[in-house]
Amino acid sequence: MNIPDIDISLELRKNDVDVVTFGQYMRPTKRHMKVVRYVEPAEFDRWREVAERMGFLYVASGPLVRSSYKVSHPLFSQDN
């Protein structure tokens, strides 16, 4: 995680955001924006560790993670 990412994550925590996801953009077709770089899985692991230390209750971090990742998880239940 670089400094702007940490600043954004800290702002999210200050505003009581409990869930964060980090994923890799995957170019669906040649008509879409190119991938600038592929992030190694170890970097996603570091991002998860940093976010957990910041106090996020749930962190999904990996190349195939999307914002709706594991939305059926009990943490996201409307009963909570």
pLDDT digits (tens, 9 = 90+) for 7-48: 888 889 999 999 888 999 899 999 999 999 999 999 999 999
The Cβ of residue 19 has, within 10 Å, a number of other Cβ atoms equal to 18
Residue type, 1: M
Which segments of 1-80 are extended strands (E)? 19-22, 58-61
Joined together, the tokens standing for residue 74 give 């009990």
Tell which wins on pLDDT, 27 or 68: 27
pTM, rounded to two decimals: 0.74
Of 4, 16, 2, 25, the C-alpha closest to 54 is 16
Residue type, 55: G
Angstrom distance (rounded) from CA 32 to CA 47: 26
What is the reported pLDDT for 9? 83
